[in-house]
């Protein structure tokens, strides 16, 4: 004899019980998604935690006197870290193709050939679509409110031509740095023609 659909299930359960293996798979999927979301959140905060945990070095950098190194850590004193901050903004400006960010690390008033340099950079940015800039800081020399830094610079550039041929340039660049009310700014660099067109 054939039983009807309604007679197979008691009245207290008007619908059939859900498939147990389906419920287990849904729970596992949700657990995996939550784990991935938590991991992504942790990984996105990792760079900030790494920067916060870095301790400044007590050893004097090349060009620093023992008085400067022994005194309290002052973020306004010229150090490798300060130069890296300036060069990092310089690098990010190129890699995001943001000319204003590149020029923001320069002191237009104190740099003798700034207008010529700015025009040269405008042309350079117009001719290239993508930049990848890498640097390795070699030396920092500090005076009271000025200093110099030497770095190996390597630049990959993709021109805006219809058939772009990526080009790689490299040089050892010397930056002249000056303390301004806005922080440390570049007031000169050599060779300036590295960014020539």
- Phi, psi (deg, nearest 5) at residue 185: -135, 150
Q: Residue 61: its pLDDT value, please? A: 43
Alpha-helical segments (H) within 54-148: 66-70, 80-95, 99-104, 114-127
pLDDT tens column, 147-167: 999 999 999 988 887 666 778
In this prediction the pTM is: 0.59
Q: Residue 46: its pLDDT value, please? A: 59
76-195 folds as Nuclear Transport Factor 2; Chain: A, (3.10.450)
> CA–CA separation, 107 vs 188, rounded Å?
9
160 versus 7: the higher-pLDDT residue is 160
Q: Residue 60: its pLDDT value, please? A: 44
Closest CA to 177 of 99, 95, 91, 83: 83
Q: Residue 31: its pLDDT value, please? A: 75
pLDDT tens column, 37-91: 777 776 766 565 555 444 444 444 444 443 333 333 334 678 899 999 999 999 9
- pLDDT > 90? residue 94: yes
> What is the separation of C-alpha 17 from the centre of its chain, rounded to a whole number of angstroms?
54
DSSP code at position 63: T
* Helix H or strand E segment including 161: none
> CA–CA separation, 29 vs 184, rounded Å?
51
- pLDDT > 80? residue 191: yes
172 versus 38: the higher-pLDDT residue is 172
Q: How far is CA 48 from CA 99, 158, 169, in A?
A: 26, 31, 32
């Amino acid at each position: 004899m054939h039983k009807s659909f309604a007679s197979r299930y008691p009245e207290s359960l008007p619908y059939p019980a859900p498939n147990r293996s389906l419920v287990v798979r849904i729970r596992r999927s949700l657990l995996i998604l939550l784990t991935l979301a938590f991991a992504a959140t942790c990984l996105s905060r990792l760079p900030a935690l790494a920067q916060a945990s870095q301790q400044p070095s007590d050893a004097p950098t090349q060009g620093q006197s023992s008085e400067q190194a022994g005194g309290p850590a002052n973020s306004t004193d010229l150090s490798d870290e300060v130069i890296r901050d300036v060069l990092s903004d310089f690098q990010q400006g190129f890699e995001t193709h943001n000319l204003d960010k590149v020029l923001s690390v320069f002191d237009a008033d104190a740099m003798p050939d700034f207008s010529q340099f700015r025009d040269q950079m405008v042309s350079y940015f117009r001719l290239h679509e993508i930049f990848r800039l890498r640097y390795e800081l070699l030396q920092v020399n500090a005076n009271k409110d000025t200093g110099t830094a030497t770095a190996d610079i390597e630049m990959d550039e993709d021109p805006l031509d219809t058939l772009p041929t990526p080009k790689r340039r490299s040089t050892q660049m010397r930056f002249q740095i000056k303390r301004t009310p806005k922080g440390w700014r570049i007031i000169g660099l050599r060779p300036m023609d590295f960014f020539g067109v």
